Amino acid sequence: MSKENIVFDYDKEAGLSHCFIEYNGIYCDGQAKCHPDDMDFESERVGMTIAESRANIKVLMFMRDYEVKPQLKILNHLYSNIKTSKHYNPNSYEAKMIRSQIRAIEKELATINNALADERKFLKDYTEGKEKLYQKLRAKNR
């Protein structure tokens, strides 16, 4: 994923972190707000990590939904039309190339879906781990 520009913004008073990622001229943002119960452990780094992960998810969803899926749909439609021709030859260079491109885009789509699942898992594990750590620290300080 080529990110052209990443900008972070942190408002300590509001406990709000923002991450803006520019990808192919599109801006995707992620934000994180510190929970009122966690203000004693408020951390700019934690907020930025969560905000960046959420922005990454939006970039991946944009890639999937507005770049890769439309390409795949167009190629599948083209190939479907070619197959209906009475001159269709499945062994022709053109047919082989279109099938090859379809497979490549399907592989790219699978890669993006895997990256999206990984990023969502990271975010879930990170927030759960953060909460467990905060609970341990609170228990220790009592």
Q: What is the pLDDT of residues 21-80, one digit of tens each?
A: 999 889 999 999 988 877 777 788 899 999 999 999 999 999 999 999 999 999 999 999
Q: Name the amino acid, one letter, at 1.
A: M
- ∠ Cα 116 122 124 (to 5°): 105
Structure tokens at 110: 């699978």
* pTM summary value: 0.88
